[in-house]
Structure 1
């Protein structure tokens, strides 16, 4: 039985996708060897995958070396918050038919730069949590798990 007083609640996968579809800016986490990087990227949901555009450079090179990525989107208000994490594989879209299809998506760079590479993140898992915000409880008010 779920505790309705619990300030942290796991989101169902369909709720995660709702949050992802409702937003346009997320964070891409890459890892090459011992170097972990995080990049803000604007994106669009295409079916049950994430598509974004990028220029030539370190982000694209890193994805070529290690396609395993994390993608995170979150939001908060005074009363609540949520976070969704997509773990998956990123690949540059090279197939002409797939490229023609994603070029029709409502995805344009947020800054006036050329971003000619379309990247698709295919999820291995999609998880999320929602948080009820409030003051920190007293040390003796916390119930054991």
Structure 2
């Protein structure tokens, strides 16, 4: 029997809050299917007109994102007391580098990794969901992990 503190409920975020949070960070994780298996890539992105745009070079990420299957981008953040996670699901579209694109989101979209990143990809969302929750002190869960591990070795 444990005297666990009451757990505060997870807050389900509306789409407007999700977009506000996505504006505040620049790195997410792109999930695509490659040969029937999920692959996840870190990407630098910008929010542009209720969609997400990222740059990439030739390779697996571009081929998978440009294919017929849906993709997802997940981004996270936190402050001193709460953490959040937002998931954007949709179709990726490879963009032509137009003047409008280059003057907009692409102007400040700089990948962390060096190399040719000449392709721009927009995720047109079909779903934007998120959640926010109170960050729990490790002291409230660490003891439970040790107790479980000790029982498993007995």
**What TM bracket, shorter-length normalisation?**
0.7 to 0.9
Q: What's the counterpart of residue 75 of structure 2?
A: 73
Q: Secondary structure at the match of 2:109?
A: coil
TM-score by length of 1: 0.82
Question: Does structure 2 retain, via aligned residues, the 8 Å contact 1:32–1:65?
Answer: no
Normalising by structure 2, report the TM-score. Answer: 0.77
Per the alignment, residue 102 of structure 1 pairs with 101
Match among 120, 123, 136 for residue 122 of structure 2? 120
Are positions 1:133 and 2:132 aligned together?
A: no
Q: CA deviation at 1:103?
A: 1.2
Contact residue 30 and residue 69 of structure 1 kept, 8 A: yes
Which residue pairs with 2:26 in the alignment?
A: 24
The separation in 2 between residues aligned to 1:86 and 1:27, in whole angstroms, is: 10
Which deviates the most, 13-22 or 127-136? 127-136
| Unaligned ranges ≥5, structure 1 | 137-145
- Return the offset for 1:78: 4.9
Aligned twin of 2:90:
88
Q: Is the 8 A contact 1:10 1:128 kept in 2?
A: yes
1:64-117 Cα deviation digits (max 9, x unpaired) = 3334101000023452100000011001003x6xx2222122112222211000
- Number of corresponding residues: 130
- Name the counterpart of 2:150: none
* Alpha-carbon distance in 2 for matches of 1:108, 1:28: 16
Whether the 8 Å CA contact 2:27–2:42 is kept in 1: the answer is: yes
Task: Considering fraction of residues, name the structure with more helix.
Answer: 2
Gaps of 5+ in 2: 1-6, 142-154
Larger Rg: 2
Check whether the contact 2:25–2:77 (CA below 8 A) recurs between aligned residues.
no
